[in-house]
Structure 1
Amino acid sequence: MRFTLKKVRHKILLAFATLILFTGVIVVISQYYMRKSNEYQSLKTQIKDLLNLSLTVQNHQKNFLLTDAKSITYYKQKGQSKNLSEYNKNALKIKKLITKIEKAPLLNQLNVDKSLKKIRSSHTKYNRWFNDLSLKIQYKGFKDYGLINKMRIAAHQLEKADSLRQFDINKLRRHEKDFLLRKDLVYANKLYNLNRSIKQSLRSQIDTLAKTASAQINRLEAYINTANTYERYFAKIVNIDIKIGLTENEGIRGELKNIIADIKLELSILHDTVNERTNNLIWQAAMVFLIVIIVMLFLSLAVAWYFTHSISSPIELLSRITKSIADGLQNQEDRLDGVQTEDEVGNLARNFKNLYTQLRQTIQITKDENAKLKEFSQKEAERRWETEGFAIFNEIYRNHFNNLEEQAFEVTAQLVKYTGSSQGGMFVINDDNDEDLYMELKACYAYERNKFKNKRVDLGDGLIGTAWREGDTMLLTDVPQSYVHITSGLGKSNPSCVLIVPVKSDDAMVGIIELVSFKVFKTHEVTFIERLSQRIASGIIAIKASERNKKLLAILESEAQDAQEREANLRKELQNSKYWVHKFEQKLNNISDELMIYRTVINRLYAGLLITNEKFIITKVNNYIYQRFNYKRGELIGESVDILIETDYKNVIDLREKRFKVSYRSFQEQVSGEVIDKRGKNYPVKMLSGKLEIDTKIIYIFLFNEDDVVHLSPSSVSDANQGLILS
C-alpha cells in the first residue's frame, strides 16, 4: 500500500522534524568539540601563565640584585624586602600551578609527564640557588653591614695607623671600589699586589731598625696586621662575588639564568605540543562539520524540491492567475483547473474560482458606484475650497477695511498663493478727474521689474485695457512670448495661462485682476475669482467713499480750528490789552515800582521778549514764547538765537565772523522776520532789537509781535523803550 500525505501541514511537519533531527546531531557534535577545545585552550592558558610567572620570578631576582642588595633598608630588616616577598609569592603560585597542570585530564593523552617533572625540578633548583644567593648577599653586606662594614673598619684603621702612607692607602681603596663597581678580578689582583709590596716595604724597614726603636717597630707591625685583616675581608668579599657571579653567565647568577632558559625551553615545547593537538582538533571538527553541512544541504535540496513540486508550484500558479485577474484580464478561471492536487492548495484553487465569478459581478457594481462617489467628492472639494477661500478673504477685508493699498496687496498676494499662481496684480480705476479716467496698478505680487513700469493703463490699452472696455473675463492659454515672463532661480520662463477678471459691482467697473500661472486655471477656480471680484469691488467702492469723506471732514475741521484759533487769539489780545492798561495806570502812581512798570510795559507792547548774552546765546525767554510756540520751559536756554528767530540778517549778522552786529540804532527800527516753533512752522513777526550795557556786561534784547496781533503804534513803543534804556 502506497503511503501519501494529503495535508500540507503534515508535509511541513515531516520536513521540520527531519531538520530538527539533523540540528540536534550538529548540536551534540558541536558540544563535544567545544568541550575538547575548551580543555586544550585552558591547558594552553595555564602553560602561558606558568611561563609568565617564571619570567616574573626572574625579574624579581634581578631587581633584588639591582636594588635590595644595595639598599640599607634590606639589611636593617634582616634580609626582608619587597622583591623577596614577591619572589616567594610567585614561587608558591608556580608550585600550585604545576600541580594543577599535572592533574589535567588531557595530560595522559599528550605524554608530557617528563617535561612537567623537569619543569618542577628546575623550579625547585632555582629556588634553592636563589635562597643561597640571598644568604650570600646578606653575608656580604653593604656599607655599615656585613663583611663590607668590617672591611671599611679595617680600612679606617689603616688610615689611622700610618698617616705617612696615605697615598698608598688611597690607591688600595680605589682598587677596592673599582672591583666592587666593575666586578673585575684585575682590580682585586692590583689590590693584593699593592698591599703585598707595602707589607714587604714595612718589613724591610723593621729589619733595618735597631732593637732599641721598639715603639716604631710595634707601630709598623700593627699596620701590617691591620693590612692583613683588611686584605682578608676583601678576599672574602671577592670569593662571595665570584660565587654569586661576576657576570650574568658566571656563578649562581649563571646557574639561575641557565635554569630559566631550560624552563622556557620546556614550556615552549609543552605549549607547541598542546597547540598542535588543538589545531588537529579544530581541523577534525571542521571536517566533521563540513560533512554534516553537506548532508544537510542535500537534505534541504530534497525537501525544497519536494515542496516546490507539491506545494509551491500550485501556489505560484494561483498567484499568477490572481495577479492577472487584478490586472484586469478576463476569462482566467479556466487556468485554475490546472491545479489538480487533493490538498489544501487544490481546495483553495477551486474555492477561488467560485469567488472570482462572484467578485467579477461585484466589481462592476462597485465601479459604477465609485464613479458617482468620485464626482460627488470632486464637487464637495471644490465647494469646500471656495468656502475656505471666502473665509480667508473676508478676514483680510476685516483687517484692512480702511486702507486701499494694504487691502489690495493682501488680496493680491493671498489670491496668488491660494490659486497656485506665479504672479498677480490688481488695477484700480483712478476717477479723481472725471475727464481723465485710467487704471493704475495698486498692488502686485511677484511681478518682474520691467512689467508695468508705467502704472497707468488707459481704456483699450493692451489686454488690461481691452478687458476694461469689454467688461468680460479673459482666459488666455496661448500667451504671447513678450507679454510676461516668470523669473526664478533657473531663469525666465513663459507662463502657460493668463487670467484677467474685471472687478465690478452691479455693472460698475472698479478695476481688473490679472493672474499669471504655469498651470491652466480650472473652471471652478475662474468662477471663484469672478465671485470674489464682486466682493473686492464692494470693498474698493467703500474704501474710496470713506477716503473722500475723510478728506472732506479734514478740510472742514481744519477750517473750523483755524477760525477758533483766530477768534481765541483776538479775544486773548483784547483782554491782555485791557488788563495792561489797568495795571499800567496803577503802577504809574507808585514810583518805587518803576522797574516793574517798565517790564510790564514791554510785555504788553510786545508779546515776545528774548534776552541773549554777548555771544547771542539765549539766557531769558518770557512765558509767551514757551506757550505760543510749543517749547518746554527752559528748553531754549543755552541755544543760539537763530534757532528761534529768522529775519534778514544782512544788517544783523557778520557773515565772515559768524556773529551778530547791530548796525542800526538800538530800539529805533523795526524789521520783519519769522519765529520758528518746535514743529518747524514759521510765524511772521515785527521785531525790534537793541543792545544794553550793564556795568561790563553786554546783553541783546529782542522784542516782537505777530503780524495779526493788535499792538501799540511804533512811536509810543520807541518812547517807552528809550526810557528803559536810559534807566
Structure 2
Amino acid sequence: DTHKPIYTPHERDELGNALVVLSNHLTRKELDEVTRNRDDKRQNWISEGIAQMGEILRSERENVTDLSFRIIQQLVRYMNVEMGSIFITGTADPDHPTLELEAAYAYDRRKYLEQSLAWGEGLPGTCALEKERIFLTEVPTGYFDIVSGAGDTKPNCILLVPLKIAGEIHGVIELATVRLLKPYEIEFVESLSESISSSLLAARNSETTADLLRQSQAQAETLKQQEAAMLENMKKLEQAQVESRRRETEFSGILLAINQASPVAELGLNGRFSSVNEKFYMLLESQRDQVVGKQYTEFAQVDAYSEQYRQFWADLREGKSKSNVEMYRLFSGKEIWLQQTFTPVINDEGKVYKVLNIAVDITENQNLREKLQTQEMEIRRSHLDMQTLNEAVNTSLIRCELDGDGIIMEVNENYVEVTGYGRKELLGRNYRLFLKETEKEQFERIWEEVKKEKVYEGAMRRTRPTGEEVWLATTLSPVKDDSGMIYKVYFLGLDITEKKLKYQLLEEANREIERLKLRLKDEDGKT
C-alpha cells in the first residue's frame, strides 16, 4: 500500500533503528542490482550492435554505395527507427565541399533518392560544418521536408552524427524516428562514427584504385591499339608511297597523252599564261611567244573586273577545280568557243602555285547550238501562233477532231452548242451515230474523199436531238503521221442555218414569181 505511513522508530529503539538500516541497505542493494542489470543490457546491446556493424564493415570494401546502404539498413533495423540516411562528402570541388546522399532506408524499404547539399546547408550540412552531433526532439512543421534527406514522413526526433577521423569530416549519418532516442542509443551511433568513416574511406580508396587500375589498363590497351594502328599506318604509308609513285608515273603518261591530244595551257596565279602546248597556240592561230605572258582576259571575252571573275580565281587559289565555256577572240578577229577545265596544281607545301587548263574546241557545237536555239525560238513562235489560231478557231468556229475511223476525239463548246449533244455523249463515239440516214449517206461520200487525202469543203445538214435542222459550212481536212497514214481529221464548220433559210425563202419566192409569170402568159394567150 503506497499510502501506508512509513514507520519511524524512536531514537532509543535500537531494534527498530537496526531494522530501518537493514531495510535501507537491502533497498539500495536491490536498486544497484537493477541498475547494474540495465547497464549490462545496454552495454550488451551496444556491444552486439558494434559487432554486427563490424561484420558489415569488414565484408564490404569495394563499393561505397552498397556499403552505405548496408550500414544505414543495419542502423535502422537494429535501432528500430523509422528512417535513416547516410551522406558522403563530395570530392568534385575541394574549395566548395558538398554532401551527397549516398543511401537512404525507411520503413524496411530501400529508398532511391538524389540529393546534394552544400556545406552548412540544412541539418546534414550544418552537422558537417560544425563537426558536432545534432539532436532535435522538436521538428518545426514543414522544415523536415526541405532540409532532410530521409523522406517526407513527419518524425518527432532527429539525430545527425558526423562521420569523422581526426577531425576531418567524411560524411553524416541521419536517423529519424517518432519516438525519443535514449542517451545510450545516441552514444552507440557516435561510437560507430570513426569505424564507419574508416570503412567508407577505405571503400572509396578501393573504388579510386579500381578506377585508376581500369584507366591504366584502358590506357595500356589504347597504347597497344595505337601501336598496332601505327604499324598498320606505316604499312599503309609504304603502300601509299608505292601507289603514289605508280600514280605519278601514270599521271605523267596521262599528261603526255593529254598534251598530244588536247590544247593545254598553264597559268600563274596572276592570270597570265606561263606555258602552252602546240595545240593550244595553234588553236589560237598564234605563235607561242604571242600567248605566253599574256593575260587570260586578252583572249577570253570575260569582264576582268566583275565579281564573278574575281570569285573564279579565288576558288582556284583555294584549290577548287572549275569548268566553264568561254568565247576567245583571236588576233584575226575570229571567234572560237572553248570548253575548259581549270585544275589547281599543289606544291609540296600544300599550296596552289599554278593552274592547269585543258581545253576542247566546241566552236562547231556552239554554232550548232545557236542554230538549234534559233530554230527552237521559231518553233515556239509557231507554237504560239498555232495556239493563238486554235483559240481563234475555238472562239469563232465549230471544231471537232475525228480519228481515222470516224471516232470523235475532241470537240469545242461551239460544236456542243450547235449539235445539241453533251460533251460526254460525243467523246469516244462514232460520228455516224448522230446522223440521220440521209445525213449519213452524205457523210460516207465525203469520208471516202477524205480518206483519199482530199480536203472537203461544202454544206452539211445536221439534225439536233429536238428534230431541228442545222446547216453547217464545213471543211474536213485529213492529217497524216510520219508514216503517211491518216490518223486525224479536222472538222471545222460555221453555222449557216439562217443564211440557208433565207436562200430557201428566196428560191421559193423566185419559183412563185416564175409560176405567176407562166400563169399570166397563159391568160394572155387565151384572150
Query: Which one has a larger percent helix, Structure 1 or Structure 2?
Result: 1
Scaled to the shorter chain, the TM-score interval is 0.3 to 0.5
Structure having the higher Rg: 1
